[in-house]
Chain A
Amino acid sequence: MNFEVIVANLPKLLEGAGLTLELVAFGLVGGAALALPAALMRVSPRWWLWAPAFAYIFFFRGTPLLVQIFLVYYGLGQFEAVRDSVLWPILREPFWCAIIAFALNTGAYTAEILRGAIQAVPVGEVEAATAFGMSRTLSLRRIILPRAFRIALPAYGNEVILMLKGSALASTITLLDLTGMARTIIARTYMPVEIFLAAALIYLGMTFVFVQLYRLLERRLSRHVVGAR
C-alpha cells in the first residue's frame, strides 16, 4: 500500500469531490422540482393527469441511470436539430447533461416516495380538514403535504444517498467528479487500489456527514411525537 500516492493526489480527489457535491445538489433540486408536480398528478383521479406522470416514473425507474446519461449526452447530440437549437449551449456541456439526467432520475423515484406518503396521510385528518370547510387546495397545502413530507423523510434520505453514489456515473461523460478524477489519476499512476480506496473513503465521509445532518432534521421535524428520537 503506497500512502504517498494518496497524499500526493488528495487535493485533486477533493476537487473531484467538490464537483460530485455540485452535481448531486443541482440534481436533487431539479429532481425535487419535478417530483412534487409528478406526485400530485400521479394521485389525481383524472387519467389525463396521472397517465403522463405514470409514464415518466415508469420510464426513469425502469431504465439504468447510465443509459439515461448516455441518451441525454451522446443521444441528443446526434441530432442536427438539437445541435442547431437554442438548447445546444446547455446540452453541449457534460455538466448540464449529467444534471438533467440526475434530476429526471431522482425526480421519478422521489415522486413515487411522495405518492406513497400522500396516500399514507391518515384519512381522518383529511376528513377533518374537509369538515373545517377547507377547499381541496387549502387542505393539500396545510394538512396533506406537510404530513406527507414528514412521512416521506426517511425514504427520501435514502434516495439522496443513492443519488450521491449514482453520481459516479458522471465520469463516463468526461466529467472529472470524484470517480472521474480517481480514474484519471489511476491512468497515470497505475495504483487503482490506493486511489479507489481514497475515493471510497471520501464518499463514505460525505455520506456520514449527510446522515448526521439528516438525523438532526428528522429529530427536529418529529419533536411533537412523544418518544421520538
Chain B
Amino acid sequence: MSLKTAALAAVAAIVLLTASGPTRAETLRIGTEGAYPPFNQIDPSGELIGFDIDIAQALCDKMNVECVFVRQDWDGIIPGLLARKYDAIVASMSITEDRQQAVDFTDPYYSNKLRFVAAKNAKVDPDNLKGKVIGAQRATISASYLEDHPFKGAKVKLYDTQENAYLDLASGRVDAILADRLVSYDWLESDAGKNFAFVGEPIDIGDKIGIAVRKGDTKLLARLNAALAEIIADGTYEELNAKYFPFPIY
C-alpha cells in the first residue's frame, strides 16, 4: 500500500515538475516504418528503436521540440505525410527525383549503396542472373533499380517489408536479394544471416538518405537542416554512427 502511494506521489511529482518546468509544448510528429533494422525497428517491448529514431530524437532535442513517432507501413509512408498524419519522415528514405515530385528533402543524413546478398554456398553471379529469382522490398530504390536495369531473365519478387524478403531468402524462394548494404550488413551479422554473404561489388547509385517533409513546409525544412548541421558539428552524429556501424556512413 505504502509502496503504491509512494509510486503515485513520485508520478505526481514528475507530472508537476514537467508541467512547471520549461515546457516542450511543441510536438513534431515523425513517421517511420519500424521494420527496417538497424535503422528503425520495434523492440520486444513495442518501442521504436534504431539509427533513424536516435537521429530524429537528437534533432528534436536540438530543436527543443517533443518527438512523437507514428508507425506507418512503407508503401503508404509518403501518402501518410501528404495526408498530414505526421510532419516529417525519418525512415531511411532515399532522396530520389520521383519522390522530390511529391515531397521536399532535408540535407542527407547518411549515404547508402546497394548490394546483392545470397547464400554462401550458392553460385550467384551479379553479372549473370539469368533464371534467378531476385527479391527486393516494394517501393524502394532497390526495387526501382531492378526494374530499370532488367537483369536478363531474372525474375523480380517484391516484398512488403525487408524482413519478409530475408525470410524468403532463408527459405530459398529467392536466390538473391538486392538491398541497402547497411541493412544487409546488420542482418548478416545476426544469427538468421549466418549462412549468407554479400556477393558482387557494392552498387553506388549516388544514394543519399534524407528526411522528407511536405512540399512548401520550408520553415520545418530549415529548422531540421540547422539541427542536422548542429549534431554533425558537435559530435552527436559520430557517436550515434559508432553505436550501429564500425565505419562512417555519412
Contact of A190 with B101 in the complex, beta carbons under 8 Å: yes
Residue A78 is within 8 A (CB to CB) of chain B in the complex = yes
Residue B127 is within 8 A (CB to CB) of chain A in the complex = no
Contact of A183 with B138 in the complex, beta carbons under 8 Å: yes
Q: Which B residues lie within 8 Å of A172 (CB)?
A: 160
**Chain A contact residues: over half helix, strand or loop, or mixed?**
helix
Contact of B164 with A74 in the complex, beta carbons under 8 Å: yes
Residue A130 is within 8 A (CB to CB) of chain B in the complex = no
Contact of A74 with B75 in the complex, beta carbons under 8 Å: no
Residue B98 is within 8 A (CB to CB) of chain A in the complex = yes
Contact of A184 with B78 in the complex, beta carbons under 8 Å: no
User: Which residue of the partner chain B has the closest CB to A171?
Assistant: B160
Min Cβ gap B98→A in Å is 7
Contact of A190 with B98 in the complex, beta carbons under 8 Å: yes
Chain B contacts with A in 57-113, Cβ cutoff 8 A: 75-76, 78-79, 98-99, 101-102
Residue A25 is within 8 A (CB to CB) of chain B in the complex = no
Contact of A174 with B159 in the complex, beta carbons under 8 Å: yes
Residue A188 is within 8 A (CB to CB) of chain B in the complex = yes
Size category of the B interface is 20 to 34
Tell which of B76, B144, B164, B170 touches A188, judged by Cβ atoms closer than 8 Å: B144
Q: Which A residues lie within 8 Å of B135 (CB)?
A: 174
Size category of the A interface is 10 to 19
Q: Which A residues lie within 8 Å of B168 (CB)?
A: 74, 77, 174
Contact of A184 with B98 in the complex, beta carbons under 8 Å: no
Tell which of A92, A187, A188 touches B173, judged by Cβ atoms closer than 8 Å: A92
Contact of A187 with B164 in the complex, beta carbons under 8 Å: no
- The interface centre, meaning the residue of A172, A174, A183, A184 with most chain B CB atoms within 10 A of its CB, is A174
Contact of A187 with B138 in the complex, beta carbons under 8 Å: yes
Contact of A187 with B143 in the complex, beta carbons under 8 Å: yes
Tell which of A77, A188, A192 touches B79, judged by Cβ atoms closer than 8 Å: A192
Chain A contacts with B in 65-107, Cβ cutoff 8 A: 74, 77-78, 83, 92, 94
Given A74-B164, A74-B167, A77-B173, A187-B157 contact (CB < 8 Å): no
Q: 15 extra interchain contacts, Cβ-Cβ under 8 A, other than A74-B164, A186-B79? A: A74-B167, A77-B171, A77-B172, A77-B173, A78-B167, A78-B171, A83-B171, A92-B173, A172-B160, A174-B158, A184-B158, A186-B75, A187-B143, A190-B98, A192-B79
What are 8 of the A-B contact pairs (CB < 8 Å)? Answer: A77-B168, A77-B172, A92-B171, A184-B138, A186-B75, A186-B139, A187-B139, A190-B78
Give the interface of B toward A (CB within 8 A).
75-76, 78-79, 98-99, 101-102, 135, 138-139, 143-144, 157-160, 164, 167-168, 170-173
